Structure 1
Amino acid sequence: MPAQKVADEVRKASRIHARLLDAFIDLTEQELAALTPGFAAESLLESLERMRDARKSYGSTAGVMVISNMSLSPASNAA
């Protein structure tokens, strides 16, 4: 039974991480909306991409899937 307890703790931690990432993603999107195009905006877009990837990972571990995020804007320097 100890293995089950660890799994429950991992799922709980993953849910917490996912919830915190959701809040930080929202905050970053708000900040990005107030910026004009340029280095700061591109930097935030890259950060959003990494946070969204991490969020998907935590969501999978926690058994909680992302239904949607705000529209994904590609970075202007994307190929």
Structure 2
Amino acid sequence: MPATTLDLRDVPPPERHPKIHDAFEDLEGGESLEIINDHEPKPLFYEFQAEVDAFDADNYEVACQGEGKFVAKLPKK
């Protein structure tokens, strides 16, 4: 499953969700958006689950890879 990666750690918080939504929209079905964040993106997961029909919540993954580095995979149906 191909992935596009966005490192959001240096992006101001108000700009993060719009960037994520735009990048996710550009994906083809079966692709994933990988984001690198400075905190666990649980609110983003709930937002996508509620608002984005193409989001494959069952295959969402997130891992802490050290202090201030969370990597999440948002797959598209």
Give the structure-1-normalised TM-score: 0.32
Higher helix share: 1
Q: Which has the higher strand share?
A: 2
The structure with the largest alpha-carbon Rg is 1
Larger RCO of the pair (alpha carbons < 8 Å, separation 6+)? 1
